[in-house]
Amino acid sequence: MLKKRIIVCLDVKDGRTTKGVKFLNNIDIGDPVDMANEYYKQGVDELVFYDIMASARGRGPILDLISKVASQVFIPFCVGGGIGSIEDIRSTILAGAEKVSLNSQAVKNPELITEGARIFGNQCIVLGMDAAKDDSAPSGYRVYINGGRVKTDLDALEWAKKAVSLGAGEIVLNSIDADGTKCGYEINLTKMISENVDVPVIASGGGGTPGHLADVLKEGKADAALIASMVHSGAYTIGSIKNDLNKLGVPVRL
């Protein structure tokens, strides 16, 4: 049986790790290089680094900081935020990332997914998708860009399917409604996307207890769960989460 992955997300703003709720009121919680090293030592399966202001400010990735974080971890490392060209993808991978997450830039220029997958391989191209409930969208969920600030006319399910057809090898699916609440993942949204695409889906937004992770990995059919607040707060370690998941019948790398 395939093991489920636990992924820690570092939301980075002005060179520091931050945490907010529903994409708002982010507070400084530490140095991303030190935090990456700590989570690596705790046994996290993968690490994601999001520059949450890059797209909104119209700039590319901070390569020197990405390189410093990459030097601390020897696991898959994904970087997102402001990656808007093939050159940005190349320089981010050369700085030490195994994967790049295309979110706002993929919506603005879907060809970037296709070209990125052709040059670097599907496994390198991750679709980052921020979705929120919207009854006017066919699936009931709408896609937002620029760090959740800008509403698009894209339906979440339609965009997920299209992005995979263009070459995305994985989807990080973030629920804006659940983000930072620690009240549980958006199971319906996650299950709907997972059942309709043939690439791994990573659930993001809402993880507060190991039980929440078990729910989204089982009921939501996610391949991995992305966490932030749970471990940033010190309430849990990666080891304690994995031990609890193991007891709950979820196959994880111990």
Active-site residue list: 11, 130
Is residue 9 within 8 Å of residue 231, measured between CB atoms? no
- The phi and psi torsions of 38 (rounded to 5 degrees) equal -65, -45
Q: What are phi and psi of 235, to 5 degrees?
A: -65, -30
| 3-state SS track over the chain | CCCEEEEEEEEEECCEEEEEECCEEEEEEECHHHHHHHHHHHCCCEEEEEECCHHHHCCCCCHHHHHHHHCCCCCCEEEECCCCCHHHHHHHHHCCCCEEEECHHHHHCCHHHHHHHHHHCHHHEEEEEEEEECCCCCCCEEEEECCCCEEEEEEHHHHHHHHHHHCCCEEEEEECCCCCCCCCCCHHHHHHHHHHCCCCEEEECCCCCHHHHHHHHHCCCCCEEEECHHHHCCCCCHHHHHHHHHHCCCCECC
Q: For residues 190, 253, 17 and 13, what is the CA-based torsion angle, rounded to 10 degrees?
A: -50
